Structure 1
Amino acid sequence: MSDATNVTQQLGAAVFQKPATVLGRLNERVFAHLFDGLVYAQIWEDPVADMDALALKPGADMICIASGGCNVMSYLTADPASVTAVDLSPAHIALLKLKQTAAQTLTQSEFHDLFARADRPNNPALVQQLLPKLDPTARAYWGGHSLGSQRSRYFARGFYRQGVLGRFIGAVHLVGKLARVDFRPLLDAPDMAAQRRFYDTAIDPLFDKKLVRFLARQRASLFGLGIPPAQYDKLAGDGAIIEVLRERARRLVCDFPVRENYFLWQAFHRGYQDAPDASLPPYLMPQNFDQIAARATRVRAENASFTDHLAARADASLDAYTLLDAQDWMNDAQLTALWAQITRTARPGARVLFRTGGTDDILPGRVPQHVLGQWRYDMAASARAFARDRSAIYGGVHLYRFGG
């Protein structure tokens, strides 16, 4: 069996939850197909909130899901001994490896052009310069084509407009344009009071539009947010998905100053702000470049499932785990297998951070007590991490501490 076939099967196992209807099975297969390519050009979890909640110390060994690679690289500012990043998407692993190699090869200004500006005409030449330094799999990805265009050209056309999420945000902008809503005044808002006024007058009414309500009822419409069918069903409840989306949009626009929230810029500008004092992920801040370049070799990227990777790790070998919202995809057996491996590989005092589409912790009653009972839920740290998460698209952030 080839590695590509094995990963595809693992992705299917992560997504497929044996729905009762043909339409449900079709939705899951469409989602799995989309997720096999580039989904997140930028990860949508706040690494600053993560590092605070995890209390990352120099010398720590951590593991996370790679996604767009932003958080993996940003964790290097905390000076960990190692960061292992796993992901079932080969495209995400290729993107992370490109960022690693770029940090070690390019100048700070070139690195900034490639990943912060991400739309400069010289950027494809920078990618071509990096290709010989990549491993064969990543080299084949970035040297290849998608829909008839070289992937290196992504970085000249606006990289953050690419991928499933990038196209979803583009569709949101199209809906706004059809409703004659101009998002640009939000980015010029002088204070949070002005942001709230803009939300109340321009954005909130969109959720009452028939087209928006119709689209929100279609599971496939939200695949671009990385919401698989099983997670959609948990969020939707009794037809409440539109109110969930309304509240998440309100938090994104109203709870954080526009000049301090690069997630807001990604949502309403489709890229980072290009200014000397722009809000950026930690790995893209110019003052952090030397650290990122020096520590990039500490990152290990692997195209595999989280549970399978942990099964090959030594006992008591890790200090910190970040799971994004991957557990929302899992059934009880998958959760139990994952937490059995987390518990086996955890050092005393280890921390696990994860997010949920809904508000509640999903583990009690689903992971056996003999496993979960070795961990303590930190309610105060969880609440603080949720309040600080500028991405604002999740219902909850949760932190567990190992007592073993």
Structure 2
Amino acid sequence: MQSEFTQVPLDCLRYGLVWESAATLYEALELQADDHALIITSAGCNVLNALLAGPRRVTAIDLNPVQNELLQLKVHAVRHHPPAVLRGLLGLAGPAGVAQAAAALLPTLPPARRQAWAVRLAQHPRGLLLAGRLESYVTAFLPTLPAVLQAKLAHLLRFEGVGAQAAFFDEELATTDFPARFIQYFDQANLSRGRDPRLFRYAAATGGQVFYERLRAQLSQQLARDNFFFRFFFFGPENLPESILPPCYQAAHHARLRAHLPRLRVRTGEAVTFLLSAAGPPVSKASLSNIFEYVSAAEFGRASRALGQRPGPLRAVFWNLLQAQAPRPTAGVPLLAGISAGLSAREACFYFGGVRVLAFAGAPTGALRPARSGPPPAAFTFSAPAL
């Protein structure tokens, strides 16, 4: 697939957090014990969340090998350390927790990886969730606000009903210069601080105004205090209730996650290309993050039609950001419109423009040349999920 992501440097950590919610992932894919799930790695959160659901196999894939390295570090922490170490590394317990976790983890890493991660953790003393380029940019917004606006944003976490919460926002924040500050900070000209500007080639709208309207709409539908992404977006990783963390980072799920780690495989490569390769037919479910944000509508159509011709059924979910791919079912784009609309309305991260669930029936058995046996194509590199 011709994606703009192939045109940007893949030598840094672009994401420290997966912004697509696990609740949407679970409902969209309905993972079962006999599924083989392909999950875009990104920061690894939804790879680990998928493992928790118990499918037979999870394959993590990313064009950026640094993102896979981050996942493998988390896997190492889960496999060899108690929950507090992973929590500390993420930054959930503050800088002191990061330092304590690093002191416990680094000596257990292979020497070849120990120094590199020692440097990265020293560069990001507030934790891995803030180590990505996007997260560094997003969470730097709050300090740009006057103290009075910061206090009003924090007050949104006190409400027990969305009606009162929305009214407070409209009366105490929408009437100030908060909208202008938010729109300017997250407009496309500045958004490139968090994402490479080449990734906006196909965007139909600039970010600031769109993101502000989405934020305002969500505050009339969901409680901010219970929304992990709202709280992280504005206030960072500290002081987050355990119950609203992504499932894979909750201590109660640590043992189950550790038990399922042998089911994980990690690959470096492009997801659609992998699905269409000889290694792809066993995959029955796929979470494709927002990779179609970075291709043209024509390229999305070609990719969708090709996926419909692969052997076997495939259920896939992806998220739109500023480009409305698959607005309706069309030939070659088997959109589950009702499910997609429902998930879009409930998606926890306010800045996404919609969730799309596709259900490909697949080509009849024997209609295509059978997938060859043997190793995966040279376009993909494999790494074991352990350090």
1:4-403 equivalences under 5 Å are 14-15=3-4, 32-33=8-9, 36-115=11-90, 116-117=92-93, 119=95, 120=97, 121-132=99-110, 141-143=116-118, 150-153=119-122, 156-177=125-146, 180-182=149-151, 183-204=153-174, 205-206=176-177, 208-209=179-180, 212-217=182-187, 219-224=188-193, 226=195, 228-229=197-198, 231=200, 234-236=203-205, 241-275=207-241, 277-314=242-279, 316-331=281-296, 334-335=299-300, 338-339=303-304, 342-345=307-310, 347-348=312-313, 350-358=314-322, 360-362=324-326, 369=331, 372=332, 376-403=334-361
Partner of 1:147: none
> Contact 1:353 / 1:397 at 8 angstroms: preserved in 2?
yes
> Contact 1:124 / 1:153 at 8 angstroms: preserved in 2?
no
Range with bigger deviation, 88-97 or 255-264: 255-264
Deviation (angstroms), 1:177:
3.2
> Contact 2:203 / 2:323 at 8 angstroms: preserved in 1?
no
> Contact 2:312 / 2:361 at 8 angstroms: preserved in 1?
no
Match of 2:209, SS?
helix
Deviation (angstroms), 1:215:
4.7
Q: Residue type of the partner of 2:93?
A: R
> Contact 2:290 / 2:321 at 8 angstroms: preserved in 1?
yes
> Contact 1:123 / 1:156 at 8 angstroms: preserved in 2?
no
Match of 2:343, SS?
helix
Q: Residue type of the partner of 1:383?
A: A
Partner of 1:25: none
> Contact 2:149 / 2:173 at 8 angstroms: preserved in 1?
no
Closer, same or farther: CA 265–304 of 1 in aligned 2, 3 Å:
same
Deviation (angstroms), 1:258:
2.8
C-alpha separation in 2, matches of 1:159 and 1:266 = 13
Deviation (angstroms), 1:251:
3.9
Partner of 1:146: none
Q: Residue type of the partner of 2:158?
A: D
CA RMSD of aligned residues (A): 3.2
Aligned residues: 357
Q: Residue type of the partner of 1:355?
A: W
Q: Deviations over 1:45-80 (max 9, x none)?
A: 011111112111122101121111111101112101
Deviation (angstroms), 1:226:
3.9
C-alpha separation in 2, matches of 1:227 and 1:190 = 38
Range with bigger deviation, 381-390 or 240-249: 240-249
Q: Deviations over 1:244-266 (max 9, x none)?
A: 12122224444222342111110
C-alpha separation in 1, matches of 2:196 and 2:243 = 29
Bigger fraction of residues in helix:
1
Q: Return 5+ residue gaps in structure 2 as ranges.
A: 363-387
C-alpha separation in 2, matches of 1:141 and 1:284 = 23
C-alpha separation in 2, matches of 1:270 and 1:330 = 31
Q: Deviations over 1:269-303 (max 9, x none)?
A: 1115344x541101012221111011122222222
Match of 1:41, SS?
coil
Q: Residue type of the partner of 1:331?
A: S
C-alpha separation in 1, matches of 2:122 and 2:273 = 34
TM-score, reference length from structure 1:
0.77
Deviation (angstroms), 1:327:
0.8
Q: Residue type of the partner of 1:250?
A: R
Q: Deviations over 1:331-367 (max 9, x none)?
A: 356435643653354523x2111111247434879x9
Deviation (angstroms), 1:122:
0.4
Closer, same or farther: CA 253–364 of 1 in aligned 2, 3 Å:
closer
* Identity in percent: 23
C-alpha separation in 1, matches of 2:232 and 2:159 = 16
Closer, same or farther: CA 117–358 of 1 in aligned 2, 3 Å:
same
